[in-house]
Structure 1
Amino acid sequence: MLSYQHAYHAGGPADVHKHVALARLLAAMTAAPAPLRYMETHAGRGLYDLAGPETAKTREAAEGIAVADLSGEVLEGVLAEVRAGFGPDAYPGSPVIAAHMLRDRDEMRLMELHPAEHAALAELLPGGGVERRDGYEGVLAHTGGRGLVLVDPSYEVKTEYAEAGAFVRALVARWPEVVVLVWYPVLRAGRHAELLAELEPLGAVVDEVSFRLKGGAGMLGSGLAAVNLPEGVRLSGPSDLRIWTKKKGGATA
């Protein structure tokens, strides 16, 4: 949706869940010598100011990255590098995380249809393969080789769950070896079940974490579904990921 802007949700618990997994995947896939093609269907602006009015309005970052324990995570190092360059309130979106982790021989293509978000991303990552086009159509136009695709729509319209699932099935049919990471919100309406039903035949690995965003008035949790997940990569888990450990009490997931 062209009305959606991710700045209001940047650094929230769902972002942390998604970005921890993405950084793990990128680390694993760039460990192999062959070039990697990295693509996103809904890239956003790439970099966010957690001291800005958007995050002040929702306060999601205060319940996410502000209380996250990233000790030992790949994302911990990326976040430190980004803040060294852009200031202590900077938070990287997935395009910037990828830009910091990809090698010279790798390729990045980022799809973003929102005009303001596209303009900001293109300015931030000149030469970063930023395209203003429908994300699903754009990714399908660039298949082949070793690949990792992040599917991260806004889900503002209820049909987007089934549409995202149908896209992943079409993508894998055309590009069987591609690794796909799909993020989705866990809401009371439970519409993510439509997405998971589409991905089940592909053997997707599903990971969900629960949290009480905005005192239980917001999302109930965050979900990830991975197709062709590389061996040895875990999306998250209480044994090795402590992102929900509160600094001032609270439960862990």
Structure 2
Amino acid sequence: MLSYQHAYHAGNLADLHKHGLLAAMLDYLTRKDKPLSYIETHAGRGLYDLDSAEARKTGEAAAGVDRLALPEGHALARALAAVRARHGARAYPGSPLIAEELLRAGDSLHLAELHPGEQAALTRAVRRARVYRQDGFELAQSLTPPTPRRGLLLCDPSYEVKADYAAVPRHFTRLAKAWNVGILALWYPILRDARHVEMTGALRRAFPEALLSEVGFPPARPGHAMVGSGMFVVNPPYGLAEAAAEITGLIEVQAG
């Protein structure tokens, strides 16, 4: 437990899928002049260096953000440009920094991260979000319904153990009951053994109106288990299905 570090995978095709959809949702939410809450259960370090030893070791960004051309004006492209203007051309923002870039001064940001090294780095990276060294699901349960009630929760566990897959539907059911107007977004890896299928089946039974977006791509290197990326969104905002089709289409062309 607590061994996962995203620096090895930052900027890969799965990140572009996850972050493209996250950015699209935040872009939609901020079009209304009403404050909102953002909660993230497994935030990571927030900021990554694509020239780091970890990133160079896997080379996953080379097949991802280094090659994929986002449409001009896409919310993820705007967030990436803003982060790189401050941190350099090889910086890559995790979801906490994407949220900070796209949200406004009156919005609330709550980030949970248990890994001590990642949590310390996250605290240094963010400018105005509140960072908690706490179990993300416990934090989310304690905050929901948040103030403001309008908003989004992103759940991106490490899936270090298979029990994570069984736990997620239970957590989402409780969170949706406490925060019935909140957008609840879950990212998950698609692995060769398809271990996500039981989890997504349970989620679809519990939330039949949710949006499910999946995209497949070749393994990053020989023997690598991940062959795709998935997002499950409860209470998806207007236009998200189209945004998902756009980003998955770009990834499929890139991976093709």
Q: How far is 1:130 from its partner?
A: 0.4
User: How is 1:64-143 mapped onto 2 (pairs within 5 angstroms)?
Assistant: 64-72=64-72, 73-143=74-144
1:61 maps to 61
CA distance in 1, matches of 2:248, 2:64: 17
Cα distance in structure 2, aligned partners of 1:243 and 1:188 = 19
Q: Which amino acid aligns with 1:3?
A: S
In the alignment, the residues of structure 2 paired with residue 240 and residue 16 of structure 1 have an alpha-carbon distance, to the nearest angstrom, of 9
1:237 to 237, 240, 245: 245
Residue 68 of structure 1 contacts residue 245 of structure 1 at CA under 8 Å; is this kept in 2?
no
| Residue in 2 that maps onto 1:46 | 46
The amino acid of 1:33's aligned partner reads D
Matching of residue 192 in structure 1 with residue 193 in structure 2: no
CA distance in 1, matches of 2:246, 2:152: 25
Amino acid paired to 1:196: T
Q: Is the 8 A contact 1:111 1:133 kept in 2?
A: yes
CA distance in 2, matches of 1:3, 1:22: 25
Shift in Å, 1:125? 1.7
State the one-letter code of the partner of 2:165. Y
Q: Secondary structure at the match of 1:38?
A: strand
Q: Relative to 1, partners in 2 of residues 1:165 and 1:71: Cα closer, same or farther, differing over 3 Å?
A: same
User: What CA distance in whole angstroms lies between the structure 2 residues aligned with 1:155 and 1:99?
Assistant: 25
Q: Select 2:212's aligned residue among 177, 190, 206.
A: 206
CA contact (8 A) 2:113 2:131 kept: yes
* Cα shift readout 1:37-68 (whole Å, capped 9, x = no counterpart): 00100000000000001111111111111111
CA contact 1:69–1:245 (8 Å) conserved in 2? no
RMSD: 1.6
Paired with 1:46 and 1:215, the residues of 2 have a C-alpha distance of: 25
Contact 1:63 1:213 (8 Å CA) reproduced: no
> Residue 25 of structure 2 aligns to which amino acid in structure 1?
L
- TM-score, with structure 2 as normaliser: 0.92
Deviates more, 1:191-200 or 1:92-101: 191-200
What's the offset of the Cα at 1:197? 2.2
Q: Point out 4+ residue stretches in structure 1 off by more than 6 angstroms.
A: none
Counterpart code for 1:14: A
2:19 counterpart residue number: 19
Pair 1:82–1:241, CA change in 2 (3 A): farther
Q: In 2, distance between residues paired with 1:127 and 1:66?
A: 28
Taking the aligned partners of 2:252 and 2:88, their CA distance within structure 1 comes to 24
Per-residue CA deviation, residues 107-164 of structure 1 (Å, 9 max, x unaligned), is 0000000001111111222541100000000011111211200000011101111212
Runs of at least 5 residues in structure 2 that lack an aligned partner in the other structure: none
1:220 aligned counterpart, secondary structure:
strand
* Secondary structure at 2:181 match in 1: coil
What letter matches 1:54 in structure 2? E
Amino acid in the other structure paired with 1:159: A
**C-alpha contact (below 8 Å) 1:41/1:152 kept by paired residues:** yes
- Change in Cα spacing, 1:239 to 1:59, as seen in structure 2 (3 Å) is closer
Offset of residue 8 of structure 1? 0.8
Percent sequence identity over aligned pairs: 45
Equivalent-residue separation in structure 1 for 2:133 and 2:192 (angstroms):
33
How many pairs were matched up? 248
Whole-angstrom distance in 1 between the partners of 2:144 and 2:80? 29
Match of 2:151 in 1: 147
Task: State the match for 2:176 in structure 1.
Answer: 172
* Normalised TM-score (structure 1): 0.93
Deviates further, 65-74 or 208-217: 208-217
